Structure 1
Amino acid sequence: MKAASFARFGAPDVLDVVERHRPRAGAGEVVVRVDATTVNGGEIAQRRGKLQWIVRTALPAYPGVDLAGEIVETGPGATTFRPGELVWGTVDERGPDGTAAEYVAVPAGRLARMPQGWTPQDAVSLVAGGATALIGLRDKARLQPGERLLVRGAAGGVGSVAVQVGKAWGAHVTALAHPRSFPFVRSLGADEVIDYRRPLSDLDRFDVILDTRGTELWRLRRKLERSGRMVAIAFDVDRPRRSLATIAASAVFGPRRIRFFLGRPVPDLFDELRRYAEDGSLRSVADRVYPLERIQDAHAHAEAGGVHGKIVVAPGVSSTAAVDPRGA
């Protein structure tokens, strides 16, 4: 089978598509034919070698953490699913195998059934970002109806889902984004969209802030109401110790604590996402679809910025050009 890999750290051109043995399902595992995965910020930082001080990456490495696809094999004790079922979920990002491949073996406990009526390419755009948005807004910030929510990085993979979740829960959503992304973010339901280059000091105060950038966290924290809650899902990879020190200090100096977390999605979370997708509360945020053979281009596009939602990689797509799922 074909799989993406990199044997050294660097720019997108370190990525190659190599041949690997197709995995077999071990105890409690299933093998999924990967119909779609996405390019995530964490794996870009990993590919660039920016995370070595946190987690050592063994080389060669195989990128990809989320997936949507079809069960093709079940292992001993994996009784939740049957071959032929469509599922979505994640693999352990610290594991040896990534989802930017034609097949992957996954513990059955990391998967759930995909939303009915959705294509794998549309569904996978919600997996990692949607799970992170739900954990951040529901479990960490405890967002309530009528509260004022600020989403920083609202056009990205997490932010684009957070805007939709915030509206579904009855919050007043203010989004920070680039002006060229304003129409996209408004289409997600944002009540107000502000140029992200505007000085933070000009912003109003908010009950909840969801930050996807990891920079200027202390200044952003000042925009919280006294009982406000701030959730950071990223840190500045160029100055990681400063970001983490700011988060730690916020727990000491009075209220308005910054909560940082790395999501550990579970099937119940994906089931909740499926319900939101099926009842129309969430829409796909797939920006572009690339074939696996163009994994370098997919990473370059994601790293260049200006992405609306998620860059999708589809191993089954054989066209030589990126596909715009919105038909543009």
Structure 2
Amino acid sequence: MDDRTMRAVLFDRYGGPEVLYAGRVPRPEPQRGEVLVRVRAFSVNGGELAARAGRVRLLTGRRFPQRIGLDFTGEVAALGTGATGVAVGDRVWGVLPRTGFGSAAEYVAVRADRLGHIPEGVDLVDAAALPVATTAITALRDKAGLRPGERLLVRGAAGGVGNAAVQLGRAWGAEVTGLARAANLDFVRELGAQHAIDHRSAAPRDLGRFDVVLDTAGTDLRAFRGLLVPGGRMVTIAFDLARPAASLGSIAASAVHGRGRVRFFSGNPTRALFDDLAREVAAGNLRPAVDARFPLEETAAAHRALEAGGVRGKYLITVD
């Protein structure tokens, strides 16, 4: 096989999981300041499902084939000129910048400052469940300023960001309530939530009052915003894809109208945040929550499983 190419997950049209296939693309060469990583695993993220289905085609365009994959773990295979902070053979994790996908492949070239070192003792594949936890760190620590003793509500507590937020919230001394499917409530309690509630059986108005609300769904934001106590903070990492303009408009309006601003952001971690992640893992505050592993050729099955709902942590794709 030509070593100038590599396997990667592609799609030639927008659609369901069935449009995904494993094809071959040119193997990247690290440019100045970049690192070539031999990918060992990546996870399936909700944003990729929307991109594959064409729900954000104004951003992704109509040029095909397109790639998927945001986060990854692996070993450093080569260094571009001027790349610092890592060495060939290092075990690393990373997230690609917001400008595109592409980690669903055998190799990825990424700037050195977008990588972090995986702590010793963490399995290289299971570690792929954790880069998304940088979003939880940013949401709770930097955007919400969560303090010990505060009441934290995590919406989507069994998912990728949600499960990390539950673990961190408990470790940082908050009283954590997690919303999830009924079948996942025991899992949410195992993560550290003092209260786990079936999101289908409880209306927002019945949940109580909270100092911090972390939303991972992007819908019904006004109702959940109404649960904040005076001085409370709400952070969302999603917006309603069925009503994107109205949803984003509502988030923007919350900054100037009503009680409690809704803070919205998209994760974009660099080395300093990965260092914070490694410290949380080493301290025992975070562990990888892996629902299932799939080989690269079965990426479509992983997408199908995530769309079906009910994930406990992350679905991981292994790259042999």
Same fold, TM-score > 0.5, yes or no: yes
Structure-2 residue corresponding to 1:320: none
Q: CA deviation at 1:215?
A: 0.6
Q: CA deviation at 1:82?
A: 1.2
Distance 1:225 1:58, change over 3 A: farther
2:224 is equivalent to residue 228 of structure 1: no
Q: What letter corresponds to residue 231 of structure 1 in structure 2?
A: V
Counterpart contact for 2:98–2:268, Cα < 8 Å = no
Distance 1:55 1:225, change over 3 A: farther
Using the alignment, how far apart are the partners of 2:275 and 2:192 within structure 1?
23
Using the alignment, how far apart are the partners of 1:53 and 1:227 within structure 2?
37
Structure-1-length-normalised TM-score:
0.93
Q: CA deviation at 1:70?
A: 0.3
Q: Where does structure 2 lack aligned partners over 5 or more consecutive residues?
A: 1-5
Structure-2 residue corresponding to 1:90: 95
Q: Which digits, 9 at most, give the CA deviation of each residue in 1:174-226, with x for residues without a partner?
A: 00111100111111000101110111111100000000001100111111102
Q: Where does structure 1 lack aligned partners over 5 or more consecutive residues?
A: 317-328
2:140 is equivalent to residue 137 of structure 1: yes
Structure-1 residue corresponding to 2:288: 284
- The residue correspondences of 1:101-180 to structure 2 (distance < 5 A) are 101-128=105-132, 130-180=133-183
Counterpart contact for 1:214–1:235, Cα < 8 Å = yes
2:48 is equivalent to residue 50 of structure 1: no
SS in 1 for 2:108: strand
Aligned pair partner of 1:34 in 34, 39, 43: 39
2:273 is equivalent to residue 269 of structure 1: yes
Aligned pair partner of 1:9 in 14, 22, 29: 14
Q: Which digits, 9 at most, give the CA deviation of each residue in 1:214-267, with x for residues without a partner?
A: 110011111110210000110111111221122122112233111111111111
Using the alignment, how far apart are the partners of 2:113 and 2:70 within structure 1?
15
2:295 is equivalent to residue 294 of structure 1: no
Counterpart contact for 1:153–1:159, Cα < 8 Å = yes
Counterpart contact for 2:95–2:268, Cα < 8 Å = no
Q: What letter corresponds to residue 56 of structure 1 in structure 2?
A: G
Counterpart contact for 2:158–2:311, Cα < 8 Å = yes
The number of aligned residues is 314
Using the alignment, how far apart are the partners of 1:72 and 1:54 within structure 2?
31
Counterpart contact for 1:200–1:219, Cα < 8 Å = yes
Name whichever of 61-70 and 246-255 sits farther off.
246-255
Using the alignment, how far apart are the partners of 2:69 and 2:124 within structure 1?
15
Distance 1:258 1:314, change over 3 A: same
Structure-2-length-normalised TM-score:
0.96
Structure-1 residue corresponding to 2:191: 188
Using the alignment, how far apart are the partners of 1:213 and 1:116 within structure 2?
33
2:253 is equivalent to residue 242 of structure 1: no
2:248 is equivalent to residue 208 of structure 1: no
SS in 2 for 1:120: coil
Using the alignment, how far apart are the partners of 1:226 and 1:79 within structure 2?
46
Structure-1 residue corresponding to 2:81: 76
Structure-1 residue corresponding to 2:3: none
The alignment-based identity, stated in percent, is 51
Q: CA deviation at 1:286?
A: 1.3
Q: CA deviation at 1:58?
A: 3.7
